[in-house]
Structure 1
Amino acid sequence: MTPALLWSIDQTALPVVGRTEVFPVRRVYCVGRNYIDHIREMREGSERDDPFFFQKPPDAVVATGATVPYPPQTDDLQFEGELVAAIGTEGADLSPRDAVAHVFGFAAGIDLTRRDRQRECREMARPWEAGKSFDHSAPCGPILPADEAAGTLSGELLLSVNDEPRQRTSLELMIWDLPEIVSHLSRSYRIMPGDLIYTGTPAGVAAVHPGDRIRVDITGLPVLTVTIGERETHASQ
């Protein structure tokens, strides 16, 4: 007789500003190379290729105030500060004009990256999962409903490490703006309530170490802060 599989899985959810309800996370999509200065910084790719997407697991999302263990299998953990769009309604094959109506709200986010693993994947023409899709790799702040986020899309992003500014940009400098991002994504995937879209990072990415405190400020949105903890080890290693 096959034994029953008995475990419970807690669904990742984020707080919503001003509401008792939470935002259950379904999928996490990330846009690669969406600021020209970051493309030049990383010395990779055309400056006007169509946007491309990679995914992180939903349980990679951690809320503001968390301590993020320094992950295994890397000596080069880097931050990427980003605007995050939270999807509230289902849609597919959307035009840019229609796409923005499917956005429920916005948050500040960080795409943590094992840069050494990402470079290895790129050099070997392999998927980026080893560099991008690890535990605790998608910190995200509270979600502010879109109708309360006036000025955010024309505002600024500032990421600081230990109170020192490291990344600063206008969100208007994204190569592909939010309606275009959602539209492109909806051509390949049916977007659904609970999806998060990390919209890309500007120049200034760099390594962080245990004890470092990362803060992301985006115009009009709740602040996101996380602290890098001690190196995580796996018993099998």
Structure 2
Amino acid sequence: MTENLYPSPAWPALPVVGEARRYPIHRIFCVGKNYAAHAAEMGDEVNREQPIFFTKSALAFLPSGMESNYPPGTSNYHYEVEFCVMVGKPLFKADEAEAATAVFGYAVGLDMTRRDLQNYAKDNRLPWDMAKDVEESAVIGPVTPAAQFGALRDQRIRLRLDGDLRQDGPLSDMVWSVPELLSRLSHLYHLAPGDVLMTGTPAGVGPVSPGNHLVGDVEGLSPVSLTITEPD
């Protein structure tokens, strides 16, 4: 057997509510401009013709409840609370009905963003990679199986910074529904169990500083939390 030159990191995995086994993270897909009010606060408009997808590495994952150093290369690091969808079966070129059956469960996540780098990228028609695929920037809480969560309706999605409510809105405000997003994404990728979809953030995003404590929650799901520490 041929050995690697260097140790390879293990694939990260999430705890599952009521289950001893864990949910392994394969890929992390994210959606931009999926709440009209957030798009407006960013100076953008929603394009109902095509969702905006981007990615984060699975190695950007950080479990809930951890500390994270303020990252290098930015002076405007932002929180974004997100409703996360865990894929539970292979999906390719699926319609919305099939996509709806492929959901294993849901969780709450934080899509942390170097906002100054993202704005520069937007202004210069450049990729968002350095703004979004940041180390420890995909913070995700425990997974609740879809059957336990029930139907998506008007559950509130919220973010508190040091106890102050900063983001609050119903999941029904999403421009693109979960089946629509999974269907569209399955026409671009062969989706598989372990793929995670972060479905966008409501209005109210803002900067963090060392010492801040973030808590995101969605009614019916385990919360996600993060403490920002000094840069390393």
Equivalent position of 1:187 in the other structure: 187
Distance in structure 2 (CA, Å) of the matches to 1:127 and 1:158: 28
Deviation at 1:71, TM superposition (A): 0.5
**8 A contact 2:214–2:227 mirrored in 1:** yes
Q: Choose between structure 1 and 2: higher strand proportion.
A: 2
Distance in structure 2 (CA, Å) of the matches to 1:117 and 1:92: 33
**Which letter maps to 1:96?**
E
**Which letter maps to 2:210?**
P
**Which letter maps to 1:32?**
G
SS at match of 1:196: strand
Distance 1:151 1:162, change over 3 A: farther
Deviation at 1:47, TM superposition (A): 4.7
SS at match of 1:188: coil
Equivalent position of 1:64 in the other structure: 64
How do 1:46-195 and structure 2 match up within 5 A? 46-195=46-195
Distance in structure 2 (CA, Å) of the matches to 1:69 and 1:189: 33
Equivalent position of 1:198 in the other structure: 198
Deviations 1:198-219 (A, max 9, x none): 0000110000011100001101
Equivalent position of 2:231 in the other structure: 231
**8 A contact 1:214–1:227 mirrored in 2:** yes
SS at match of 2:54: strand
SS at match of 2:10: coil
Equivalent position of 1:216 in the other structure: 216
Deviation at 1:151, TM superposition (A): 4.6
Identity %: 37
Equivalent position of 1:9 in the other structure: 9
**TM-score, normalization: structure 1?**
0.94
Distance 1:171 1:4, change over 3 A: closer
Q: Which runs of 5+ in 1 are unaligned?
A: 233-237
Q: Superposition RMSD on alpha carbons, in Å?
A: 1.3
**8 A contact 1:39–1:47 mirrored in 2:** no
Deviation at 1:163, TM superposition (A): 0.5
Distance in structure 2 (CA, Å) of the matches to 1:49 and 1:203: 21
Distance in structure 2 (CA, Å) of the matches to 1:222 and 1:53: 25
**TM-score, normalization: structure 2?**
0.96
**8 A contact 1:152–1:218 mirrored in 2:** no
Task: Tell me the number of residue pairs that the alignment of Structure 1 and Structure 2 aligns.
Answer: 230
Equivalent position of 2:26 in the other structure: 26
**Which letter maps to 2:72?**
P
Distance 1:94 1:81, change over 3 A: same
**Which letter maps to 2:155?**
G
Deviations 1:9-58 (A, max 9, x none): 22111111111111111000000100010111111134524111000000
Equivalent position of 1:235 in the other structure: none
SS at match of 1:21: strand
Q: Which runs of 4+ in 1 moved over 4 A?
A: none
SS at match of 1:231: coil
- Worse overlay, 41-50 or 124-133: 41-50
Q: Which runs of 5+ in 2 are unaligned?
A: none
